[in-house]
Homo-oligomer: A and B are copies of this chain.
Amino acid sequence: MRKEESTNAQNEAALIRNCGMAYALSVIGGRWKPNILYCLLKGKMRYNELRKAIDGVSERMLVAQLRELEEFGLVKRIIYPEVPPKVEYELTELGYSTEPMLNMMSDWGNKNREVSLL
């Protein structure tokens, strides 16, 4: 257990640090991240608004992916110290900078997905 066995998770982390593509995929990969990003591109939203806007997402995954986006610095979490609680999520500048990339991917997909379905 003490040995220098580099785990897969560690290798992945190293990859993400060193490779732009891996980093980009870690940011927009994951089942719900693109969807979250798209929602927030339209403006800040509350937790429950996101839940309703994103069809099928569970609380667990929504929180998890929001936290990851926060760690990566794409999303700001704004907590209003009230009762009942109110939390808003908003894109940072870095978050907004993903828009052209997201659009390009989406456009490429929409243009070409019919091709392989003929």
Interface residues of A (CB under 8 A from B): 11, 16-17, 19-25, 27-29, 34, 38, 56, 71-73, 94, 97-98, 100-102, 104-113, 115-117
Contact = CB atoms under 8 A, between A and B. Distances in A.
Contacts of A106: 19-21, 24
Contacts of A16: 113
A77 B33 CA distance: 33
Contact of A108 (B17, B73, B101): B101
Contacts of A73: 115-116
- So how many copies of this chain end up in the complex? 2
A100 B100 CA distance: 12
A73 B116 CA distance: 6
Nearest to A105: B24
A99 B25 CA distance: 15
Given A110-B20, A116-B73, A104 B102 contact: no
Given A29-B29, A73-B116, A94-B115, A100 B109 contact: no
